[in-house]
Amino acid sequence: TKNPLSERRIKMAAMKFTTDNFDTEVLKSDKPVLVDMWATWCAPCRMQGPIVEELSNELKDVKVGKLDVDENPEIASKYNVMSIPTLLVIKNGQVTQQAVGVHTKEQIIDMINA
């Protein structure tokens, strides 16, 4: 039988980035950050979401989180996010990689390591 608590914990592993915490959690992070720009109404985002959640559990030296573009439009605008899902890899406050659309776990790991 499956333990519903462990499943719930997996679903909540990725951080929730917002306008309020973006500077502290992302730009000033001492480790690379993967930001998944998404929205609740976006079907491809819902496909990308579980992959991002898996990575948040597996990658110990990378901070992984999601930013809802509808709730935080100024961040989406700052990074010229026109289509979602958009993945950003941010190192030392700078975007090092940006990709639009659904990506496999392997593709995302390659982006982080690039």
Q: Is 91 exposed, middle or buried (0-12, 13-18, 19+ CB in 10 A)?
A: middle
Per the residue annotation, which of 33, 45, 52, 76 is the catalytic one?
A: 45
CA angle 86, 31, 19 (to 5 degrees): 50
Per the residue annotation, which of 42, 51, 64, 81 is the catalytic one?
A: 42
| Residue 64 bridge partners (DSSP) | 34
Per the annotation, the verdict on 45 as an active-site residue is: yes
Strands 94-100 and 63-68: unpaired
Active-site residues, by number, are 42, 45
